[in-house]
Structure 1
Amino acid sequence: MVLPIEVDEDRQEPIYHQIEEQVKALIVSGYLPADTVLPSIRALASELGCSVITTRRAYQNLEQEGYIKTHRGKGTYVQEVEQEKRSQLKEKAVQDALRQAVKTARQHEYTDVEIEKLLKIVLKEER
């Protein structure tokens, strides 16, 4: 299975964290339902062009947080995520993206009114 994940070495965020956040989003959105087999650590590392250590760290963190489960000799599988947790994580993901957008706008010295205007333009374009 090829996961629709992209990593960007130019971002300040570590690559393992980029992988974690994107896998979480795929699970929470339902793109990766419970019991889906994930690529091996080596296969994902190869696919993304990063180290095995990086993908192992992402998988370990995801397992600690209860998103995935590794069964020795069988593979790594998506865990069931409760609906309430899914809703909370979706909302957090959107809020984080909006915070980043506002931060970028502030760096370019946009006012609240100008930011709201830009958001309305984007919302209209995305309909």
Structure 2
Amino acid sequence: MNILISNASSDPIYMQILTQIRQSILSGELVAGDSLPSIRQLAKDLQVSVITTKRVYEELEKEKLIDSVVGKGSFVSGANQDFIRERRMKQLEEKMLEVIRESRELGMSSQDVIHHLTLLVEEE
């Protein structure tokens, strides 16, 4: 797991870490049962406070993306695929809303956006 922290980012450090781990899980890079570094080890590797990494892991647990077992560590949750798919769909919708807002600022019609999207899909 490769996590990059940018001091130039407007996002707080814990959010940068959270977003990257979340994305690794939702993209399938990390799968159910994979172990995560300990809170202390991750803090040491990233040269951040243990409090910061603890906050990240707590948030991931609330989202049911990881499970922490006392004395054993933290693992990617065995959450069902429907749940993970739903989370990914939500992220996709957020990105699409961003595109819609940006296209409105550019004065594009719905048809223009659909046309551009179609062209990109065909090129992919």
TM-score, reference length from structure 1? 0.72
* Superposed displacement of residue 104, structure 1: 2.9
Question: What are the equivalent positions in structure 2 for 1:83-94 lying under 5 Å apart?
Answer: 83-94=81-92
* Preserved CA contact (<8 Å) 1:28 1:81: no
Unaligned runs of at least 5 residues, structure 2: none
Q: Flag the 1:13–1:116 CA change in 2: closer, same or farther, 3 A.
A: farther
Q: Contact 1:16 / 1:55 at 8 angstroms: preserved in 2? A: yes
Distance 1:17 1:109, change over 3 A: farther
Aligned partner of 1:120 in structure 2 is 118
Q: Residue 26 of structure 2 aligns with which residue?
A: 28
Deviation at 1:24, TM superposition (A): 2.8
Quick check: which has more Rg, 1 or 2? 2
Which residue, 68, 71, 79 being the options, matches 1:70?
68
- Matched residue SS, 1:85: helix
- Match for residue 19 of structure 1 among 17, 20, 28: 17
Residue 82 (structure 1) shift: 1.0
Equivalence map 1:52-67=2 (5 Å)? 52-67=50-65
The answer to which of 66-75 and 111-120 deviates more is 111-120
Distance 1:107 1:44 in 2: 41
Please identify runs of 4+ aligned residues in structure 1 that moved more than 6 A.
none
Report the Cα offset of residue 77 of structure 1: 1.0
Q: CA deviation at 1:37?
A: 0.8
In the aligned structure 1, how far is the partner of 2:28 from the partner of 2:103?
A: 31
Length, aligned pairs only: 124
Output the aligned Cα RMSD. Answer: 2.8
For structure 1, which runs of at least 5 residues remain unmatched after alignment? none
Instruction: State the one-letter code of the partner of 2:100.
Output: V
Q: In terms of mean alpha carbon deviation, does 43-52 or 111-120 score higher? A: 43-52
How far is 1:64 from its partner? Answer: 2.0
Identity %: 32
